[in-house]
Chain A
Amino acid sequence: MSKSLDTVKKGLLTKNPLFCSGLVLSAAVFTSDNLKTALTTALCFTIITAFTALAVYFLPLAKTPYTVRIILYILIASCVYVPAVTLSALIFPADTPKIIVYIACICVNSLILERFDKRNLKKKSQKLLFIVASIVGFDVALVIFSIFREIISYGSVYGKLVGLSTPLPIFGYVFGGLILLGIFSAIFRFIIMSVGVNER
Chain B
Amino acid sequence: MNVNFDIKNVMAFAFTVIFLNNIFFSGIFGGSSLLIISGGNTKKRYIGGFCLSITWIMTVSTMLTYYTDKILAVTGIADYLRIPVYAAVLGGIYILTLVILSGIMSARFDNIKKYIHTAAFNSAVFGCMLTAANTGNITNGIEVSLLTYLLYGILSGIGFSLAVVIHAAVSKLFHAEHMPASFRGYPASLIFLGFMGMAFYAI
Contact = CB atoms under 8 A, between A and B. Distances in A.
B160 to A, nearest CB: 12
A180 B126 CA distance: 26
Given A74-B121, A113-B117, A193 B181 contact: yes
B28 A182 contact: no
Nearest to B32: A110
Given A26-B31, A82-B83, A110-B36, A189 B197 contact: no
Nearest to A110: B32
B90 to A, nearest CB: 7
A128 interface: no
A71 B30 CA distance: 18
Interface string B179-203: 0111100111111011111101100
A186 B87 CA distance: 35
Interface residues of A, number: 47
A110 B94 CA distance: 16
Contact of B29 (A26, A77, A181): A26
A175 B126 CA distance: 21
Contacts of A177: 28, 194
Interface of B: 25-33, 35-36, 80, 83-84, 86-88, 90-91, 94-95, 98, 117, 121-123, 125-127, 130-131, 134, 180-183, 186-191, 193-198, 200-201
Main secondary structure of the interface of A (DSSP, over half): helix
A25 B190 CA distance: 10
A179 B191 contact: yes
Contacts of B32: 22-26, 109-110
A11 B123 CA distance: 22
B123 A109 contact: yes
A78 B191 contact: no
Interface string A97-126: 000011011011110010000000000000
A75 B35 contact: no
A102 B87 CA distance: 15
A180 B190 CA distance: 9
A100 to B, nearest CB: 8
B26 A174 contact: yes
